[in-house]
Structure formats: C-alpha cells, structure tokens
Amino acid sequence: MIQKLQEEIQKYNNKSIYKIKYRKTKTGYSLYLEIRRKNNRQTINLTDLFLNGKISKLNQDKLVLEKASEIQRSYNIQHKLNGDKNQIRMKSKNINVVEFFSSLKDQKKEGNTKRNWNNALRHFKIFTKGFIKLDDINIVFCENFQKYLLKNVSQNTACTYFSVFKKVLNTAVMRDFLDKNPASFVKNSKPEIIREFLTKKEIIKLANTPIEKMNIRNAFLFSCFTGLRLSDVKNLKWNNINENILDIRQIKTKKPLRFELPEAALNFLSNQKDYSSNEKGDIFNLLADNATNKHIKRWIKEAGIDKHITFHSGRHTFATLCLTCDIDIYSISKLLGHTDIRHTQIYAKLIDKKRDEAVGKLPTYNMGFD
C-alpha cells in the first residue's frame, strides 16, 4: 500500500525545496515535484516514474523513489545556485558544454555505458577543441558534429555517441539551461543490425568440430539452448541449477530468470563437469570476452560455417530455434528475460526474412503461360 512509502517520501522531502508528490492513476500513482513560493505553486511531472502501490512491489517502488530523489536533488541544487528560470538561462549561456558533458559522464557506473560516454566525450572534445558555450549549440552545430562522427567511426557507433550527446542536452533542458534540445531535430537512426544465428545442422556440425578450449565450446552451445548472455554464463554457478531448473538474476537487467533447462543444455552441463574446477563454484571458467570471441571465430571457421558468429549469436540462435519449433513469442520473451516484447519480435521478423530468401531461391519454370 502507498502508506508504506510515505516514510520514504517524507525522508526525501525533509529540508527539500522541491517536494516529491504523487497522484492516483488507473494503474497506480504518478510522481511529480512541487515547489511553493509566495502563494505560487509550480509542479514538474516526473515522466515515466510511477509507483505501483502494492506491497508485493514495495522494493521496486523504492527504486523508483530513488530515481525521483535524484531529479529532486538536481532541481534543489539548481534553485540554490541560480534562482528562477530567467536567472538560470542568463547564467547558463556561458557554460562550457565540454565540462558539463564531463561532469555527467563522471556520474555513470563502470561498464559499457560509461565506455560509450567516455568515447563520445573524447570525440566531442576533439570536435570543439575543448570548449564551446551552451549558447552556441544549435541545430547546425549538432548536424556538423554528427557528420564528424560519421567520418571518424562506424555508422552504428556514430549513432551511439550522438545519442549520448543528445542525453547531455536533454539534461540541460531538464535543468532549465535550455528551452529545447536542438539535437532532437537531427535524425539519428541506427542501421539495421544483422543478427547472425546458427541453424540446427550448423549447431551439430559445430559440436562435432574440435576446439582447443572445451570450456568455450560447452558455454557457447549451452547459450544456444538457453539464450543466456555471456555475462550471465560467466557468472553462472552450480548452485544456480537445482533439479534441472535454472534460477538466476540477470547481470544486465537485474531481473530474475527461472525456467527448466532443455535436455541439450543439460548434456553440455554434464560434459562441463570434467572441465569445471573453480573453487567459487563457477560452471564455466571463461577467458576475457574478446579472447572468448576470438576462439569462437576460429572454431566457426574450422567448422566451415561462413557466418560472423560471436558468443552473443548463441542468444540469437536460441530465439530462432524456439520460433522454428513454434514456441509462442510471449513465452520466448519470458525465456530471454526481455523487458519488452518488441525486442523479441525482431527475431520473428528475422525468421520471416530468411523464409522469404528461401522462397526466392526456388527454381522458375516456363509453364507455357503468356
């Protein structure tokens, strides 16, 4: 019940200029910030932040409140330093965007996200020669920065770095430094990603091809029949499997994942017992990610399979195998641990595309029709 969260909300609101408030909706409670000055009341909607209000979702709601408090803290700092919006806008004109970019980057946790922010900032520094005022950021500047990225990195990477730059400007808008984000008017679409996967015949062929590192063989083929990401396979321990049931919390999404392992996956686990001797209970003692993928690339080549396959292709393989076995897309989404079924629908399109290609290869015959 929402009363359980009152104490948390009060804690965040104590001595805060902006107060976290909530309003009832059909599905729960939406959050907003409120500030009162001389009988004037201003509210700021916290988009996409909602409380469920149920006891079973208490921990999840507390995490939502933590996100709300971060935004609340940002507005408090902004108010104390700059006063009202007009003062903020006047002072923000001379902000060095490179320094602002860097301060936001420093708040990111270590991992792929921070690496992307580091690299995007590095290119932004080169492009601006280390300094540009916020007042000089306009659509033309954004278009030119995008062109610079496309010249210096791949299209996919350029899209990622430009998205980071957009987030920097979105934060400036959120803090009332800007009225609008000029980068939002610049199209930034990623090229369609080719998701390579293995067919049943190719999996059998690969399983029968010798490889130097049996750990990598068993781990990759295990992924082909479970859909687990490399991070989850590396973190997998024997105590995560009980009576053929896999029970883990995913590294990427922090969401729990639990399902019964198929026979093929159990076979690779059984084989792995001869190669697993880690005192921590790890099942697969793998190398660094790049080294693992190099071994897989060599193995794929020796198997005579002409495809660009990485460890993550095991996840794609699992999804497409499930679809070809007529498992419904909702169940596949749950097995993959997707938070949005739209991510799973990509694989359905992939299968349809392969079927269309196969039909296109059928021979044509002159049937005598004009």
Q: Using an 8 Å Cβ cutoff, are 15 and 25 in contact?
A: no
Q: Over the stretch 113-159, which tens digit does the pLDDT of each residue have?
A: 889 999 999 999 999 998 998 888 999 999 999 999 999 998 889 99
Question: Which two three-digit tokens encode residue 234?
Answer: 């590396």
- Residue 309 CB contacts under 8 Å (≥ 6 apart), including other chains: 196, 198, 296, 297, 300
Does residue 194 carry a pLDDT above 80?
Answer: no
Q: What is the pLDDT of residue 291?
A: 93
How far is 346 from 343, CA to CA, in rounded Å? 6
How far is 279 from 282, CA to CA, in rounded Å? 8
Give me the long-range contacts of 178-184 (CB less than 8 A, separation at least 24): 178/92, 178/134, 178/137, 182/137, 182/138, 182/139, 182/141, 182/142, 183/142
Q: What is the pLDDT of residue 366?
A: 52
Domains of the chain: 3-83 (no CATH), 95-185 (1.10.150.130), 200-357 (1.10.443.10)
Q: Over the stretch 220-263, which tens digit does the pLDDT of each residue have?
A: 999 999 999 999 999 999 999 999 999 999 988 888 999 999 99
Q: Which pTM does this prediction carry?
A: 0.54
Question: Which two three-digit tokens encode residue 109?
Answer: 């946790």
